[in-house]
A and B are shown apart, each in its own frame.
Chain A
Amino acid sequence: SQQGEEDPQALSIQEGENATMNCSYKTSINNLQWYRQNSGRGLVHLILIRSNEREKHSGRLRVTLDTSKKSSSLLITASRAADTASYFCATAEGSSNTGKLIFGQGTTLQVKP
């Protein structure tokens, strides 16, 4: 079952601009994670935010989590052409400790030089 709904499905920006991607989910979560996937490659973990956290930073990445709205956003600041990739949110459900994640459909980001 797909839990995450991501918005927008595709995003095209110029280098140096900021990129914001949103993710909504349906059930209670233990944590929410963001992954990046370059075309034809495996996914790479970017950042994890726990259900009791509201905001987290990692380099040029900023993630927010609003559990009341069941939504999260990923902001990439000062984007670079190398940021071109697909970005996925993934949720770990409730009290589950299986590591089992449910992924969204993804946002495809194109950063033009």
Chain B
Amino acid sequence: DGGITQSPKYLFRKEGQNVTLSCEQNLNHDAMYWYRQDPGQGLRLIYYSQIVNDFQKGDIAEGYSVSREKKESFPLTVTSAQKNPTAFYLCASSTQGTGELFFGEGSRLTVL
């Protein structure tokens, strides 16, 4: 079945540690996105990539990093520089031009 797989679903991290969230898609989509969702809030864009080996900052990129070495994969690293990393992280992908996003099931990160 085609879709987007995020892992891990739950992650706990100590302050000062970097953590990497995985996002893999087999939909053959060119574009991929990372969003952050805080309780009771909408989604805010962290980074997006329209093509392999290229990505752009979204509205809240500080403290995060990404890579796009393969079309299928768009991992997100939450660095120790992110001051408030506890949140629900959602990865999405889309075909160029359609606008419709396909989402993974999310990764919930808790900083202890």
Which residues in A have some Cβ–Cβ distance to B below 8 Å? 1-2, 4, 30-31, 33, 35, 40-45, 48, 88, 90, 92, 97-106
B residues contacting the other copy or chain, number (CB 8 A): 31
Which residues in B have some Cβ–Cβ distance to A below 8 Å? 4, 6, 31, 33, 35, 40-45, 48, 50, 58-59, 88, 90, 92, 94, 96-106, 108
List of A residues within 8 angstroms of B90 by Cβ: 42-43
Partner of A97 from B35, B96, B108 at Cβ < 8 Å: B96
The reply to whether A33 and B99 form a contact with Cβ atoms under 8 Å apart is yes
List of A residues within 8 angstroms of B48 by Cβ: 98-100
Please name the residue on chain B nearest to A1 by beta carbon.
Answer: B59
The reply to whether A105 and B99 form a contact with Cβ atoms under 8 Å apart is no
List of B residues within 8 angstroms of A1 by Cβ: 59
List of B residues within 8 angstroms of A101 by Cβ: 45, 99, 101
List of A residues within 8 angstroms of B97 by Cβ: 97, 99
Question: A48 CA to B4 CA in the complex, in Å?
Answer: 20
Q: B-side binding surface: helix, strand, loop or mixed?
A: strand
Partner of B106 from A31, A40, A88 at Cβ < 8 Å: A40
Question: A102 CA to B35 CA in the complex, in Å?
Answer: 10
The reply to whether B104 and A99 form a contact with Cβ atoms under 8 Å apart is no
List of B residues within 8 angstroms of A45 by Cβ: 100-102
